[in-house]
């Protein structure tokens, strides 16, 4: 275990540490780690287990798209040995936080190795609507993703190209990669490797926890496969407030359309809404869905205008409170699949 766990190496970190709330204190016998948002934090907790002291910056029900870091966040990052981030420019505020906190630990990009969907490709698929098969989503180049991963490291070091890609709030790739079991396995691999590197004494436990978590993921994947198979071919278009389910769509031959873009900060134009209403009527889309981190009034208006029903609430980028339907990452995946299948598989 490194000496950083008992002594922060700069006066700035010592000042920031005074902001740490009760319950976030860093125990010498645990690895201090930070995860950027609740979905990722739940995975880190599962794999880190009793060996980590975890701080999650954007908590349950929080919207990572519009989050503003606090002094407590800076203190937690300064004190951490490992910072787990989603990557793919999902955390647009993280560079500011890294500048405010003298972080000297390891950064783990949880999406490293995932075959990311290019934003333009996903956007074009939604506009065309006439072919939403899985093969189409797999045509993006792996080399482009490797280039983007390199850009992620550069951005974290201080390069700010965040707002220059396509005029959207995210970068060139869809960052909502956690929506499938297959991608979650890659998250688990990256998390376990990051923890083992930082804390080799407990590496065996991290990999054992990873194996147990992946076994649960794979079992859930079988359940989700069965649920998605119940949806008729002519009912496989899903309307959501913002565009956060592209990977689920690619995996299960579903088309997700949304009046907002990939960020909840985006605003739908009147033309976007009119086109979506026309699309719902033309393709006889019977249900639309609301989300927990968005303003759902627009979708509810669209449902009223078209006669579509509100099929339920989906959790796109944050877990529910404890005891809710998406209290864990596994619960979130199951709830979303069950909600979509129940509304469309009729």
Q: What is the pLDDT of residues 137-168, one digit of tens each?
A: 333 333 443 444 444 434 333 333 333 333 33
CB 33, CB 53: distance < 8 Å: yes
CB 76, CB 20: distance < 8 Å: yes
Token code pair at residue 227 = 């649920």
**Distance in angstroms between the alpha carbons of the first and the last residue of the chain:** 55
- What residue ranges in 66-174 does DSSP mark as E strands? 82-85, 106-109
Give SS3 for 216. Answer: helix
- Say which residue the tokens 């995210």 belong to: 170
CB 82, CB 196: distance < 8 Å: no
pLDDT exceeds 50 at position 25: no
Token code pair at residue 270 = 């009147």
* % of the chain beyond a pLDDT of 90: 53
CB 331, CB 339: distance < 8 Å: no
Residue range(s) occupied by CATH 3.40.50.1980 in the chain: 3-214, 230-344
- Domain 3-214 sits in CATH at 3.40.50.1980
Give SS3 for 145. Answer: helix
Query: Considering only the top CATH level, what class is 230-344?
Result: alpha beta
Among 111, 121, 114, residue whose Cα is nearest residue 91: 111
**The pTM is what?**
0.77
Lowest pLDDT segment from 159-163, 185-189, 207-211: 159-163
CB 242, CB 260: distance < 8 Å: yes
């Amino acid at each position: 275990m490194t000496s950083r766990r008992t002594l922060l190496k700069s006066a700035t970190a010592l000042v920031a540490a005074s902001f740490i709330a009760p319950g976030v204190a860093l125990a010498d016998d645990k690895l201090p780690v930070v995860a950027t948002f609740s979905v990722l934090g739940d995975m880190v907790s599962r794999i880190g287990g009793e060996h980590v002291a975890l701080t999650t910056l954007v908590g349950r029900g929080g919207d990572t798209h519009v989050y503003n870091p606090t002094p407590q966040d800076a203190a937690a990052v300064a004190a951490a040995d490992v910072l787990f981030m989603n990557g793919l420019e999902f955390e647009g505020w993280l560079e500011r936080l890294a500048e405010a906190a003298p972080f000297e630990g390891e950064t783990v990009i949880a999406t490293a190795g995932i075959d990311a969907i290019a934003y333009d490709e996903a956007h074009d698929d939604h506009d065309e609507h006439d072919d939403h098969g899985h093969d189409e989503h797999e045509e993006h180049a792996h080399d482009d993703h490797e280039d983007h991963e390199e850009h992620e490291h550069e951005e974290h070091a201080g390069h700010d190209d965040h707002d220059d890609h396509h005029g959207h709030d995210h970068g060139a790739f869809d960052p909502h990669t956690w929506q499938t079991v297959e991608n979650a396995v890659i998250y688990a691999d990256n998390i376990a490797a990051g923890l083992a590197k930082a804390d080799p004494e407990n590496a065996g436990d991290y990999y054992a926890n990873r194996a147990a978590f992946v076994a649960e993921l794979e079992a859930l994947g079988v359940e989700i496969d069965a649920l998605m198979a119940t949806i008729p071919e002519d009912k496989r278009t899903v309307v959501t407030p913002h565009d956060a389910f592209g990977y689920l769509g690619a995996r299960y031959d579903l088309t997700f359309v949304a009046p907002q873009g990939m960020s909840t900060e985006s605003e739908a134009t009147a033309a976007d809404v009119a086109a979506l209403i026309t699309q719902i009527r033309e393709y006889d889309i019977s249900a639309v869905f609301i989300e927990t981190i968005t303003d759902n009034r627009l979708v509810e208006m669209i449902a009223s205008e078209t006669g579509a029903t509100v099929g339920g609430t989906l959790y796109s980028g944050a877990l529910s409170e404890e005891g809710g339907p998406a209290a864990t990452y596994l619960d979130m995946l199951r709830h979303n699949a069950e909600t979509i299948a129940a509304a469309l598989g009729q």
